């Protein structure tokens, strides 16, 4: 009885949930990188991004987690799937994978990982002396419309130009004879 | 679980997986997926510093939102370029796209 009660402590449940979400993230990332079928990669990316959204919840910001789901899973992954459907037919035979290239890529990834983790564990991270604890979405919106207004507008302009550019690029490609 | 190092370690692992993917894939869409992984690792780093170190816990969230906006723009442009390349070469293999080679 006592052990059952300790199992459903919120602290313990949070730990289990965190481990599960991290496992989900890395399983998704592995599926996104390794299989040769491109559709499996996109599905792995969706799983991985869902896990990242869960990590954002653990970092104290459900709003950013929802934005992650909305923008990445809802928009970017769907448009990648559209690009897959518009490009290479899936039933064609996939190109063979060359082992030396995979080995070299693994070496580069390992070097980057070792360098990054050395930096992480060698640095003494100091928290700021005065930290406010205002996490509310209200303040976030206020900041977006006051202090970070210029960047906000710049991002909107960049998005507009990117969408117009995407339409123009794919439109010209259709008209020009190949 | 609740320390800065855990999150930074997760982000570093995700980033290296992304780098591995960029170098190993030959399809343009596969490379784009790997780049999205790297951008997400950067977002996790920003959110972790925001949670544990920053004086104002709003700024990191705003930065993460900006990263997402930039990633959306980048994905739109990259996908339209991929579709254009496919129409021209009938392939999205990166090793076939070498018309500009000197």
Q: What is the pLDDT of residues A121-149, one digit of tens each?
A: 898 888 888 888 788 889 889 998 999 99
- Residue B18 inside a domain? The answer is yes
Query: What pTM, to 2 d.p., does this model score?
Result: 0.87
If you average pLDDT over residues A91-120, what whole number do you get?
85
Q: Is A175 on the interface with B (CB under 8 A)?
A: no
- Residue B61 inside a domain? The answer is yes
- Residue B17 inside a domain? The answer is yes
A–B interface: beta-carbon pairs under 8 A: 229
Q: Which of B6, B9, B16, B31 best tests the A interface by mutation, with the highest count of A CBs <10 A?
A: B16
Q: How many domains does chain B have?
A: 1
Q: Is B73 on the interface with A (CB under 8 A)?
A: yes
Which residue range forms the structural domain that includes residue B39?
4-96
- Residue B102 inside a domain? The answer is no
If you average pLDDT over residues A68-90, what whole number do you get?
86
List, for residues B38-85, the tens digit of each pLDDT value.
999 999 999 999 988 888 888 899 999 999 999 999 999 999 888 888
Residue A24, judged by CB atoms within 10 A of its CB (0-12, 13-18, 19+), counts as middle
Shortest CA distance to B97 belongs to which of B23, B28, B24? B28
Q: Is A35 on the interface with B (CB under 8 A)?
A: no
Q: Do A162 and B88 touch (CB under 8 A)?
A: no
- Residue B64 inside a domain? The answer is yes
Instruction: Give residue A178's pLDDT.
Output: 47
Shortest CA distance to B10 belongs to which of B35, B55, B47, B36? B47
- Residue B12 inside a domain? The answer is yes
Instruction: Give residue A159's pLDDT.
Output: 93
Among A42, A61, A155, select the one facing B66 at the smallest CB separation. Answer: A155
List, for residues A11-69, the tens digit of each pLDDT value.
888 889 999 999 999 999 999 998 888 889 999 999 999 999 999 999 988 999 999 99
Instruction: Return d(Cα A170, Cα A165) in angstroms, integer.
Output: 9
How many Cα atoms sit within 13 Å of A14 on the Cβ side?
10
Q: Do B52 and A125 touch (CB under 8 A)?
A: yes
- Residue B29 inside a domain? The answer is yes
- Residue B101 inside a domain? The answer is no
pLDDT band for position B86 (cuts 50, 70, 90): confident
CA distance B16 to chain A (A): 5
CATH code for the domain in which residue B34 is found: 1.10.287.3510
What percent of chain B shows pLDDT beyond 90?
A: 51
């Amino acid at each position: 009885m006592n052990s059952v009660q300790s199992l459903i402590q919120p602290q313990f449940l949070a730990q289990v949930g965190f481990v599960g979400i991290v496992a989900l993230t890395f399983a998704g990332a592995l599926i996104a990188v390794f299989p040769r079928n491109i559709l499996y990669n996109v599905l792995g990316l969706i799983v991985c991004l869902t896990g990242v959204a869960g990590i954002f919840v653990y970092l104290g910001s459900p709003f950013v987690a929802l934005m992650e789901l909305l923008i990445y899973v809802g928009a970017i992954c769907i448009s990648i799937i559209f690009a897959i459907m518009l490009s290479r037919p899936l039933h064609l035979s996939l190109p063979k994978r060359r082992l030396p290239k995979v080995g070299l890529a693994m070496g580069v990834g390992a070097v980057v990982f070792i360098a990054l983790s050395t930096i992480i564990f060698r640095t003494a991270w100091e928290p700021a002396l005065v930290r406010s604890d205002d996490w509310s979405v209200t303040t976030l919106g206020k900041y977006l419309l006051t202090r970070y207004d210029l960047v906000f507008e710049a991002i909107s302009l960049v998005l507009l130009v990117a969408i117009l550019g995407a339409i123009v690029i794919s439109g010209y490609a259709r008209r020009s004879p190949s | 679980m609740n320390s800065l190092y855990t999150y930074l370690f997760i982000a570093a692992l995700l980033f290296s997986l992304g780098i591995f993917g960029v170098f190993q894939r030959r399809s343009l869409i596969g490379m784009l997926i790997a780049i999205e992984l790297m951008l997400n690792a950067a977002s996790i780093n920003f959110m972790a510093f925001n949670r544990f170190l920053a004086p104002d816990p709003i700024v990191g969230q705003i930065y993460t939102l900006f990263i997402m906006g930039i990633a959306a723009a980048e994905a739109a442009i990259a996908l339209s370029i991929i579709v254009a390349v496919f129409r021209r070469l009938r392939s999205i293999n990166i090793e076939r796209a070498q018309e500009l080679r000197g």
